[in-house]
Amino acid sequence: MFKKTPMAAGVAAFATLLFAGGSAVADTGNGYAVDYTAMTPHELAEYLIFEANDGGGFNLSQEMQEGGTARDRMQQDELQIACSLIDNADPDPETAAAIREAAGESIVYPEGGIQLGDWERGRELAWSGFGYRVGHNYDDHDARPVGGTCYNCHQMATDRTGGNVGPNLTGYGKTRGTSEAVLKYAYDMIYNPHVYFPCTHMPRFGASGFLDDESIADIMAYMFDPESPVNE
């Protein structure tokens, strides 16, 4: 769906043709003109959503907080390309092994080992979607940490409502305990879940740099601390 480069190139090609031929074109106000009638419905939909910013579109040219533009964010990395090709199904064993190995190499453990932090801060982070948002002013990460958005996909405790894209994590620490192996598994899942689920939809919070050591420790405390509402 997000093949931005060919799409943009296609639009630019349209524009050149139209200018050369002197056809009726719509000036979109963002650098080039397009003939809507020459587009397939799919192209038109993509154009209106991602390119036609004067019409309230997404505007992929806008600059992002981490540098680059929104368009750069839409570029898939190798892992995403491999998983998109098979619609996030199970890859063949060779591809799966390569993905898992690369994911494993990305994981960095905190000095002094995996720790549980402050579950109350972790509760807020599990809920929060703050940070690096598109279409907002830049988020002040000094004033407020980047969130984990866990609740978008997971139910975690009964005092908040969560999504069901991922498994229900209610009672996680109570049912699994806090052995070294369990804590490492949870840490790995938060840092880079592709190490266990090659084409998972869960984000790579540690590997992508969205959650730092302290935030991961706090979210893990939320999952494992006996005082946390997750383990009521």
Specify whether the CB–CB gap between 132 and 146 falls below 8 A: yes
Q: Which C-beta is closer to ligand HEC: that of 85 or that of 165?
A: 165
Closer residue to ligand HEC in complex, CB, 190/217: 190
Q: In the structure encoding, which two tokens stand for residue 21, read together?
A: 């031929």
Q: Which is nearer to ligand HEC, 14 or 210 (CB)?
A: 210
Give yes or no for a contact between 41 and 35, defined as CB atoms under 8 angstroms apart: no
Q: How far is the CB of 222 from ligand HEC (least distance, A)?
A: 8
Contact footprint for ligand HEC (CB under 6 A): 126, 148-150, 152-154, 165-167, 169, 186, 189-190, 197, 200-203, 205, 219
Q: How far is the CB of 81 from ligand HEC (least distance, A)?
A: 18
* CA separation for the pair 152, 169 (Å, rounded): 12
Q: Which of 130, 91, 107 is nearest to 213 (CA)?
A: 107
Closest separation between CB of residue 52 and ligand HEC, Å?
28
Nearer to ligand HEC, 4 or 206 (CB): 206
Check: CB of residue 202 under 8 Å from CB of residue 191: no
Least Cβ distance, residue 61 to ligand HEC (angstroms): 26
Contact 37, 58 (CB under 8 A): no
